[in-house]
Structure 1
Amino acid sequence: MTRSIEYGNLMHDAMRGLIQTVLRDIADNGLPGEHHFFITFDTRHPDAELADWLRERYPEEMTIVIQHWYDNLEVREDDFSITLNFGNSPEPLVVPFDAITTFVDPSVEFGLRFETQDYDDEEDEDDLEEDEASEDTPPRGEAEVVSLDKFRK
């Protein structure tokens, strides 16, 4: 097996770490100035937690906004939890960092988009090593800058 540096995976981990660091700061100090976030995540992720009615309404992905009103923001190693207001109904959510597909802060025109993930828990370590070794397999979990046009008002 030829060993190589997995730049795509390293970038993926670094960008998720960036989001984690930003959210930790917001949890500790609140949102500064005009900063606010649009976070889109895959609701099919096995560790995503949301109310049944939200999962029915957003069966594949959901975009949340962290701006004026949010509560109970708690950032952990693999995910964050937050309570947001949906039609005057506060609902708690748990969003795994691996489920995030876009992260945008329009106040400073910053955005990231992540390739979709495959959440197959059945895959064992040998299969993972084979996937990593395959030259035909595109790297999963790469990050890229996202266009902010779709988030502009």
Structure 2
Amino acid sequence: MTRAIDYGNLMHRAMRGLIQEVLSGIAEHGLPGDHHFFITFDTRHPEAQLADWLRARYPEEMTIVIQHWFENLVVTDEGFSITLNFGNSPEPLVIPFDAVRTFVDPSVEFGLRFETQDPDFDDEEGDDDAEAPTPHEAEVVSLDKFRK
């Protein structure tokens, strides 16, 4: 069996660690200057927690904005929880880092996009030595879709 370096997963972990470090700093010190974030996540992730009405409205993915008002930002090794305001209704969210699809800070034109492949990868021939495709890849995302 040939051993290979799995750059895709290494990059995935490094980028998730970057998001964790940034959000930890925000939880401790608040948002500096004009920084703010657009974070898109997979609402179908089994560990994502959000109100039933939000999950019904966003059955696949949802983009949140961390900018003017947020409370209770708590960051762990697995993800983060935060309370955001939806139409004058504060709602708590729990977002695992593995559910994050994009992380964008338009104030400094920085963005990441995480591509995921179908988690139901099925080895039809039953070959235990077959290699599954890399589950996650990371890349810098274009900020054009977030511009006003």
User: Is TM (by shorter chain) over 0.5?
Assistant: yes
Match of 1:58 in 2: 58
| Structure 2: stretches of 5+ with no match in the other structure | 121-126
Shift of 1:89: 0.2
Shift of 1:94: 0.2
1:106 and 2:124 equivalent? Answer: no
Match of 2:139 in 1: 144
Shift of 1:116: 2.1
Match of 1:124 in 2: none
In 2 relative to 1, CA 39–128 (structure 1 residues): closer, same or farther, beyond 3 Å?
farther
Match of 2:123 in 1: none
Shift of 1:39: 0.1
Query: What are the within-5 Å matches in structure 2 for residues 29-40 of structure 1?
Result: 29-40=29-40
| Structure 1: stretches of 5+ with no match in the other structure | 121-126
Distance 1:128 1:69 in 2: 50
Partner amino acid, structure 2, of 1:113: R
On the 8 A contact 1:80/1:96 being kept in 2, the answer is yes
TM-score (norm 1): 0.88
Partner amino acid, structure 2, of 1:86: F
Partner amino acid, structure 1, of 2:60: E
TM-score (norm 2): 0.91
Match of 1:13 in 2: 13
Shift of 1:130: 3.8
SS at match of 1:68: coil
- The RMSD of aligned alpha carbons is 1.9
Distance 1:28 1:128 in 2: 46
In 2 relative to 1, CA 128–29 (structure 1 residues): closer, same or farther, beyond 3 Å?
farther
Aligned-pair identity (%): 77
In 2 relative to 1, CA 47–5 (structure 1 residues): closer, same or farther, beyond 3 Å?
same
In 2 relative to 1, CA 151–51 (structure 1 residues): closer, same or farther, beyond 3 Å?
same
**Between Structure 1 and Structure 2, how many residues are aligned?**
144
On the 8 A contact 1:45/1:119 being kept in 2, the answer is no
Shift of 1:129: 6.8
**Higher share of residues assigned helix:** 1
Query: What are the within-5 Å matches in structure 2 for residues 67-146 of structure 1?
Result: 67-116=67-116, 118-119=118-119, 130-132=130-132, 137=133, 139-146=134-141
Shift of 1:91: 0.1
On the 8 A contact 1:112/1:143 being kept in 2, the answer is yes
Match of 1:45 in 2: 45
